[in-house]
Structure 1
């Protein structure tokens, strides 16, 4: 339009437009208590914990510290999955809203992410503090470390593809003898690296030492990283707008999964069926020897005249010596080969899909996503929290995006 505006005029216009679209960083803290009431009214069973800075008990003004949200629908859906697995992670918020968004994410029947709870906390958050807090509140819970983070720490002293391959080998084998063999190979390669890795308890990072209770052999915190990636646009927004962004994303994701689920007509979820088809193709190459009781000897095909892996499948306990069936809940190729052998011998055992853990069944997937997140009214219809106290922003909140003054050129 052939107009020239100053940098500060552009800044003021941007600030005004952002405030209209996203809300004000300072004033939204005063609306937070009303937002919580509306959230709990529209979504029964929702848990919200609001924490404020300690101060004068008689003061009518409280400074925001942190907030935790677990929507009622997500709480019920996580229980319906039947997989006691949670990934915990966090990402930093951007200026001027300093702090961290913490997330707790599960894995659904399709091996997709299932957000369970989220929180916005002060900047002083640290990973080790979270680990100790979980240990105190849930002393019986088992903890796993993300293998990618372990490798990141390992690269500080031990760089190179060879170290990565040794770490991967140690972490992915599923039996204790294989793990010990892999660790001995690392010891021969570099004893210092072996000592460093041995300081980390193997049940926190190696599949060979993980129990099958959670029906998952996951080694990475991918579920959290995927969820956090979708929250990038929420990290620079005012408090209520950021919380609403997360809630709306979870609401839309449930609807998207419902649409995808309606196209599935098999006994298993889409992701589980794809994994199982690959396993069945590998089972064709296995040889089964039945001893006349509940145990079967299964071996892979010989390569270049050399016999390959050989494992015992116990049908009484529904386990295989390779431990993959127990870890994932999906029958390994050895178990599938036994299933076919039993059918050939006249046993009524059903299709191999009936041996898959209930976590992956289509009925479980349907039950998980029957719980939907309800929409919210606008702020003008929110219930009022009363005048018990007024919530204000932390002192760290500043004015967003103000350009720095440039030094004037001085001619000498």
Structure 2
């Protein structure tokens, strides 16, 4: 402003002084508002430093109100052995209700991930999240550690294995990104486990050298293949397109990322670690709070979530969960396009497109497409075979009875019958008499305003629009009336009628013979 006066002496000095005073007053008011907000936040959430000293009392209260809960606190002693303070390092929590619910679920499948804390002290939240009967998230355990490394993952997984009875020879299934700390930790603790790599992270690494949607489509085609021949064919297509890309992808063992090599132990064909991403999004507002407030934010969310799911259960009907019913209805609709031949025993030959016949063994509950084996849900070939068996006088019963029990309403209700109990305020916590006090970990405050938003991946940055939102380019919107893609409700002309014509198989009738030029593989 003073430079403008020098250049233009016609500007009155009094106007400049008034403008400066207004800006100064605005700055003072903002500073007062910031201080008031900081004091209010401290009063509501508690002080960041003081809450570390209350961790033992909090853990004791949590265990008292939720018997069977596991809480482990790890501290570090300073160089002076006579010092009565211990520096916080880690805390692990596995609530009894979630532990019991996961064991009742019977789905040996967990996603593992870490997320940064956003308060003044460093740390990361490690989480283990399962998939429930409705294919929704089911958090099991969480921990706040110093950083995401091999040592912290070893500590977390050892405690998790003890809580869930996962032995070193267990055939459990994990899914995670390829973080350097988690890979050796799982290999060392659970050498017999099936470890899947999140396909999104593989694609992010692949995109550094091989850009374009065609590479993504080929990667997904390889990963989605359910049989070894289909996987080999998809890899050969990638090799013909780009030998370097094929060589890069071949270095990742297919056991970790393609359905053709998955076993059926997890009762899931999931390729993405979306369950952890969803969970981290739910607790993001609790990651910048003091440590006890952060842990309480997570516990209260888990308590509310169980109530929310129970309300959905009360309004649901049928043998299967709502999501499983939706998936199975789609399978039954696809099964109407297949032709079935019976061998007089338990084997059926199911044909769709030319040279795409599949063999179904109803006694073993398997299909050569491996869809039934991997997901636990009869594939379209198996459903067509079941209709053929019913049409020839065999005893089939309800088709839903052939689905794995993990998808049933009874199993879903059992999982959420275990409740997370509330706890008292800190004024009612029992005092823990110990000679040492827990203090926060060391931390050097960084210059500048603390970052709140997470770092976006390279894929997300490319897809962002100028408004900061993800682009909808190359996505197909679904009509809210008929649920089909390619148009919206404003111009809908009843296209849903065409998609519901082939439903005869749902009533138990014999599968239709596929018309020439239609069907699937």
TM-score range normalised by the length of the shorter chain: over 0.9
Aligned with 2:347 (options 295, 314, 326): 295
Deviates most, 133-142 or 216-225: 133-142
Q: Name the residue aligned to 1:277.
A: 329
Residue 14 of structure 1 deviates from its aligned partner by 2.2
Q: Name the residue aligned to 2:239.
A: 187
Aligned with 2:49 (options 15, 26, 39): 26
Write out per-residue CA displacement over residues 179-213 of structure 1, whole angstroms, 9 at most, x where no aligned residue: 00111111111111111101101010000000001
Any stretches of 5+ residues in structure 1 without a counterpart? 404-412
Q: Give, in whole Å, the separation in 2 of the partners of 1:402 and 1:294.
A: 68
Q: Name the residue aligned to 2:35.
A: 12
RMSD: 1.9
Q: Give, in whole Å, the separation in 1 of the partners of 2:360 and 2:30.
A: 73
Q: Name the residue aligned to 2:404.
A: 357
Q: Name the residue aligned to 1:374.
A: 421
Q: Give, in whole Å, the separation in 2 of the partners of 1:72 and 1:346.
A: 48
Q: Name the residue aligned to 2:430.
A: 383
Structure 2-normalised TM-score? 0.74
Contact 2:341/2:349 (8 A) holds in 1? yes
Deviates most, 134-143 or 351-360: 134-143
Q: Give, in whole Å, the separation in 1 of the partners of 2:81 and 2:423.
A: 32
Q: Name the residue aligned to 2:309.
A: 257
Number of residue pairs matched?
397
Q: Give, in whole Å, the separation in 2 of the partners of 1:205 and 1:321.
A: 20
Q: Name the residue aligned to 1:320.
A: 367
Q: Name the residue aligned to 2:464.
A: none
Residue 12 of structure 1 deviates from its aligned partner by 2.4
Q: Give, in whole Å, the separation in 2 of the partners of 1:271 and 1:312.
A: 27
Q: Verify: 1:239 aligned to 2:286, yes or no.
A: no
Closer, same or farther in 2 for the Cα pair 1:124/1:353, shift >3 Å? closer
Residue 282 of structure 1 deviates from its aligned partner by 0.6
Q: Give, in whole Å, the separation in 1 of the partners of 2:67 and 2:268.
A: 31
Closer, same or farther in 2 for the Cα pair 1:333/1:402, shift >3 Å? closer
Superposed, 1:126-141 pairs within 5 Å as 127-141=179-193
Q: Give, in whole Å, the separation in 1 of the partners of 2:148 and 2:252.
A: 26
Q: Name the residue aligned to 1:40.
A: 63
Write out per-residue CA displacement over residues 42-74 of structure 1, whole angstroms, 9 at most, x where no aligned residue: 001111111112435543200001111100000
Q: Name the residue aligned to 2:263.
A: 211
Closer, same or farther in 2 for the Cα pair 1:252/1:308, shift >3 Å? farther
Structure 1-normalised TM-score? 0.93
- Tell me the secondary structure at the aligned position of residue 217 of structure 1: coil
Residue 20 of structure 1 deviates from its aligned partner by 0.8
Contact 2:88/2:441 (8 A) holds in 1? yes
Greater length-normalized contact order (CA 8 Å, ≥ 6 residues apart): 1
Contact 2:390/2:396 (8 A) holds in 1? yes
Residue 131 of structure 1 deviates from its aligned partner by 2.3
Contact 1:94/1:235 (8 A) holds in 2? yes
Q: Give, in whole Å, the separation in 1 of the partners of 2:149 and 2:119.
A: 17
Closer, same or farther in 2 for the Cα pair 1:248/1:313, shift >3 Å? same
Q: Verify: 1:147 aligned to 2:171, yes or no.
A: no
Contact 1:25/1:239 (8 A) holds in 2? yes
- Tell me the secondary structure at the aligned position of residue 430 of structure 2: coil
Write out per-residue CA displacement over residues 158-193 of structure 1, whole angstroms, 9 at most, x where no aligned residue: 111111111011000100000001111111111111
Contact 2:114/2:148 (8 A) holds in 1? no
The structure having more radius of gyration, on CA atoms, is 2
Residue 94 of structure 1 deviates from its aligned partner by 1.2
Q: Give, in whole Å, the separation in 2 of the partners of 1:294 and 1:72.
A: 44
Q: Name the residue aligned to 1:406.
A: none
Contact 1:96/1:400 (8 A) holds in 2? no
Any stretches of 5+ residues in structure 2 without a counterpart? 1-21, 151-178, 451-521
- Tell me the secondary structure at the aligned position of residue 139 of structure 2: strand
Aligned with 2:318 (options 263, 266, 271): 266
Write out per-residue CA displacement over residues 231-285 of structure 1, whole angstroms, 9 at most, x where no aligned residue: 1101110000000000000000000000001111200011101100000011111
